[in-house]
Amino acid sequence: MTRWTELARSAEGEEYGRKYADRFAALAAQGEDIHGEGRLVERLRAAPARVLDAGSGTGRVAAWLVQQGYEVVGVDVDPEMVRVAREDHPDLDWREADLATLHLEERFDVVLMAGNTVPLLDPGTLEATVGSLAKHLRTSLGAAMQPPLLVTGFGLDAARLPAGCPVTPLQAYDDACAAAGLHLVQRWSGWEQEPWDEGGYAVSVHALD
């Protein structure tokens, strides 16, 4: 059982995947903008870029990106989340796999890791996960092409994390990126590119060296 599965079952019960998807659907029905992560990707790289949604959950972000014309593969380690993603978006490409040992043939222009995926990784797997994802970025770039990006967003304090989820220090994440040959391009305090204030949430963009 993964850290995420344990916390989700404890908080929501066995149907946590459906409850998670329904909660975002309800927010959207109330007029909330639930696509901040996708809109940031859109500002960083135009469609039809290839995107790996790493920790894709029930498919909210990946499905929106596909609607905008992106080519997207969604990967999640949790079979319950993948089941709901396939149920709600049967025509999209979902894979069930551990990000720390991920091995896909495809390469991507953007790897997106949203939804507090970083602090929800199993203990001791941060460096392996970042290294694995970095290997899935395109490495052959023409003169006119932009470098591939790893984009993440996660909480840095208990108020912005699921109950019981430990904090992953931002420096630990940056160190894992450096070990994988990635350098920091930009950092904000939210998906709308709010200026970085060293607060409780960080959205980071790293590129291959």
Model confidence at 7: pLDDT above 60: yes
Longest dimension (CA), the chain: 51
Chain-centroid distance of CA 185 in Å reads: 17
CA–CA dist 180, 82 (Å, integer):
27
Residue 12's pLDDT is 80
Apex 156 CA angle, 175 and 102, nearest 5: 50
Residue 37's pLDDT is 98
What ranges do the domains of the chain cover?
Answer: 3-208
What pLDDT digit, counting tens, does each position of 53-69 carry? Answer: 999 999 999 999 999 99
Matching CATH number, 3-208, of 3.40.50.1220, 1.10.1370.40, 3.30.450.20, 3.40.50.150: 3.40.50.150
Phi and psi at residue 86, to the nearest 5°: -70, -35
User: What percentage of residues in the chain have a pLDDT greater than 70?
Assistant: 98
This model's pTM is above 0.85: yes
